[in-house]
Structure 1
């Protein structure tokens, strides 16, 4: 391997990022140089049959491969996200299905049950980042999905706060791998222009519909086993089956995708070459970590992710109690929460389209999207408790709160090059995600029930901070791009294109431009 890397091997690759949009045939006249970086894609390209590389890629073939990737990869990512959210957020429905009484939980203890999940998420994030760096991402994901599924079923065997706390903490630790791996898979398979829509699809909130249907059905049963225990067993068992599907069908990278031929793998690689972020390098490089933490853009994203997820932590744990506080009974509360995720997902998919199409407007769209939950949180705080319809409408529309986070989720990876730097950015991003979700349940206390006035004020503040930080991030990215443009650091030189699959950071690549 070392001997082969000591030689420069020129490999012809197409030069357009998205020919399908232009109806063009990709030219075959651009060289990529294999260097000392142990990048899995470069290794594949080096050993690929020259006849496969020499044949031009047509727009029709480009679209066909993209469609095949969407069919093979995207449903698995979306399904994993749904089940992760189901097993995590079902605690909100168990609150009205008897867990408070059976486990003798106080209001404060229930808040901590919600937060402890994300303490596990927080503490396990760095070890998981290391594992992602060292092991095949898809296989690692499959194993951890199996682990948290078993833990979800173990929730049914708990009888007190201590047992629930331990299991929820461990579940959070294992689930901390889901979003980082999905983010890495997103930049591995799709172009920058394609990422917002794909992220909006896999980072969906359909889990509330799935959880609601199962919870409603179990809520109408009359068995010797407590309804909340049965709910954990059913959902955990389903997730066990899903982990087996991931092991078989989800590939670790384009070059290891058994659903694609060598030619299709080649096309898949060329599609994302202009992302300029590389794919995988298993050497941990500390200088990339230092570069990341010294960049103010990093901390704008961290503040945004933490603040934007305060509502998520709160609503995930208290959705059932909030709706029941409007004057609805248990089964009505379950049914009302059933469409919330569908509404939120539709909103985020709609906004993902202009976010993908309008260059330089993504951060603006994210900031504007926060106006809806800001307005709804204000109404939930100020409306009288007698206005049941107004409270309900505000609550349902508030579920758009997750859209800004979903629209931003591809930014950390799209704007970061260097595998160690990407993995570390992923870890920071989801540590911030954890912190926000930890704080969220603490804003809602039993002494404020059923109005939860203090909780909704806290949501207002957090969304305001998130809006300010993502706006600042967009400004920093725009200034950096303008500075590179003024310096004549172009994106199309032969040398720059040779760096597309190297493990250099965005700071080391003069051609790199930030998405904002």
Structure 2
């Protein structure tokens, strides 16, 4: 479906002083293109980097337990048997149960408040892990950290969808989620620095690690409440001109953001019954099992390849560096071609190659190369899937719930990924690698199946209704009010 604005009406917008100001913006031509270009540049320099910074700390606090393990966490908290693996799982329990509730809260409060408050709370939980004395304390901190972290990841794609068109989302979402790969690299560097350069009489290296990475999150959460833009309507006068604000509003409406209701129960039910959302949940389950195992156990896997503790922390950096390049390249091409499913399948195939190398060879070089391929294949799929879901769901509530469903199912099965390396075959981990390989194949199968389904549906609508025409904001709102959503005859899916 086209993203071009077709309405010729001049829209009145309110200035920050409360007065009405008439702004006339051409609907096409070089002047409008200049305004759009300036607006996108401003958003790209402010909104996207800030969201990326937030998610960097999200991923850093989530994944640092793997580095803390090498720094003495198990000995310091007296963990025995499977308790470390169980502590990992409790994070995902908390994350899972709070996904959909957080999306409903975001409809009641501003996204900035939701994101900022949950950041402060998970930062407190992350920092408090430094004070854990036993298994119970560690589990409690990890559980509530998962509860609060669920307020950031699903909210960010929703926020981005307010400001960018459908074919612009994957690249911006990649910049946002790509920060998680930076977090993997920085986490290894920070852990290496703590282990080799910082010594404290009363605090162990693993405790220092949690404190150093947790306190900045609290500060950043407080700042977020006041500086994160919520929607085009709230863009400050100092940040955009009246013409740019007008274009931002029009672009948001053309992206099917005309829905202003706080909560629409019909959209909730429509999300649950939507066949394409079931497909995306299955794909995301296939992603999160290997992804959860990779982020938590990469330091341990590298150590078992023969590296010492400090060296293992440092050697976790290159796989994430490789992943960063792939995330940006794959998602940029996805936006350029306006295709999602083929890129998901291709990335999963790269991860398959990595797991085959890990399973088939006991050579350190081959194993390390396999670990790099796994990261290069898994990480691009995160922004691709979130963009795909945001692209293909009309209505604020339907889009928010669909993304929450995606994360709920994915994180629920991520608990499997925290358990699959409990095997006596280390450092080969045949069972763990085999399970991950199987689920990467699942991703390939269901992503290609969803592509086929969406292509068939688009062709059916073309044959039945003819070429699609852009919807005016009024027609969009009517489709939402009548419960049609993305079943509208003029709507076409991203494949």
TM-score calculated relative to the size of structure 1: 0.88
The answer for the alignment partner of 1:51 in structure 2 is: 23
Give 1:446 shift. Answer: 4.6
Give 1:16 shift. Answer: 7.8
The answer for the alignment partner of 1:475 in structure 2 is: 452
Verify the 8 A CA contact 2:358 2:433 in the aligned structure 1.
Answer: yes
Gap change, CA 1:88 and 1:291, over 3 Å in 2: same
The one-character-per-residue Cα deviations of 1:387-414 (angstroms, maximum 9, x if unpaired) are 1111111112221122123222211111
The one-character-per-residue Cα deviations of 1:247-299 (angstroms, maximum 9, x if unpaired) are 23211111112222333211112234332x21552432222222222221111
Distance in 1 between residues matched to 2:49 and 2:466, nearest whole Å: 39
1:162 and 2:136 matched: yes
Distance in 2 between residues matched to 1:75 and 1:151, nearest whole Å: 25
Distance in 1 between residues matched to 2:99 and 2:27, nearest whole Å: 43
Verify the 8 A CA contact 1:376 1:397 in the aligned structure 2.
Answer: yes
Distance in 2 between residues matched to 1:104 and 1:237, nearest whole Å: 25
Distance in 2 between residues matched to 1:396 and 1:248, nearest whole Å: 39
1:376 and 2:354 matched: yes
The answer for the alignment partner of 1:417 in structure 2 is: 394
Give 1:49 shift. Answer: 2.6
The one-character-per-residue Cα deviations of 1:405-463 (angstroms, maximum 9, x if unpaired) are 32222111110011221121121011022123211111110534332111000101111
SS in 2 for 1:163: helix
Select which of 140, 143, 147 maps to 1:173.
147
**RMSD value over aligned CA atoms?**
2.5
Select which of 217, 227, 234 maps to 1:256.
234
The answer for the alignment partner of 1:114 in structure 2 is: 88
The one-character-per-residue Cα deviations of 1:25-84 (angstroms, maximum 9, x if unpaired) are x8x8535999xxxxxx9999x985333457875211110111001111001110111110
Verify the 8 A CA contact 1:278 1:502 in the aligned structure 2.
Answer: no
1:269 and 2:249 matched: yes
Distance in 2 between residues matched to 1:283 and 1:272, nearest whole Å: 17
Decide which moves more: 435-444 or 116-125. 435-444
Verify the 8 A CA contact 1:348 1:407 in the aligned structure 2.
Answer: no
Select which of 219, 233, 257 maps to 1:241.
219
The answer for the alignment partner of 1:362 in structure 2 is: 340
Distance in 2 between residues matched to 1:426 and 1:47, nearest whole Å: 37
1:441 and 2:418 matched: yes
**5 Å matches for 1:257-406?**
257-258=235-236, 259-275=239-255, 277-278=256-257, 281-359=260-338, 361-384=339-362, 387-400=363-376, 401-406=378-383
The answer for the alignment partner of 1:456 in structure 2 is: 433
Distance in 2 between residues matched to 1:91 and 1:299, nearest whole Å: 32
Distance in 2 between residues matched to 1:223 and 1:141, nearest whole Å: 34
Verify the 8 A CA contact 1:134 1:282 in the aligned structure 2.
Answer: no
Distance in 2 between residues matched to 1:477 and 1:16, nearest whole Å: 16
Unaligned runs of 5+ in 2: none
Gap change, CA 1:129 and 1:282, over 3 Å in 2: same
The answer for the alignment partner of 1:127 in structure 2 is: 101
Unaligned runs of 5+ in 1: 1-14, 19-25, 35-40
Distance in 1 between residues matched to 2:292 and 2:189, nearest whole Å: 22
Give 1:322 shift. Answer: 0.6
The one-character-per-residue Cα deviations of 1:339-368 (angstroms, maximum 9, x if unpaired) are 322211210111112211113x42112101
Count of residues in correspondence between the two structures = 482
Give 1:17 shift. Answer: 3.8
Verify the 8 A CA contact 2:170 2:387 in the aligned structure 1.
Answer: yes
SS in 1 for 2:229: coil
Distance in 1 between residues matched to 2:2 and 2:125, nearest whole Å: 46
